Amino acid sequence: MRQLTNVLNLCKDYTYQTSNVQNYIIMNQKFSEIIQSDTPVLIDFFADWCGPCKMLAPILKDVKEELGDAVKIIKIDVDKNQQLAAKYQVRGVPTMIVFKNGEEKWKQSGVLQKDEIVQVIKSNS
């Protein structure tokens, strides 16, 4: 199965300079393993050239700071992971998908405010 061609380039996690934000270094895990977590996993499908994606980044940083270990937030570059974006029918960026125990619980394209994202994650905890 060639859905995930290069695990090293699969996930680009949010890396912040805030010390209380845990960084998830994903080198040897496949996407399907990541989303199997019983903790909600918010996947941010983004592109480097996308203006709204850049606006969403600090919002997701604030979400992570508020929720801490209650959520994992992972970025996936759609240009480097086109097959994965196609599998989850990502038609525009940014697109966020929340997974829990491997099941897609919520999906939304566009920029949302922090409180809206926090509420989605809490409702899927």
Which among 50, 57, 111, 118 is annotated as catalytic? 50
- Residue 94: asked if its preceding bond is cis (omega within 30°), the reply is yes
Catalytic residue flag (residue 11): no
- Candidates 84, 107, 105, 82; CA nearest to 95 is 107
> Which is the catalytic residue, given 26, 34, 43, 53?
53
50 is catalytic: yes
Report the alpha-carbon distance of residue 74 to residue 116 in Å, rounded: 18
The C-alpha atoms of residue 37 and residue 65 are separated, in whole angstroms, by 19
Active site members? 50, 53
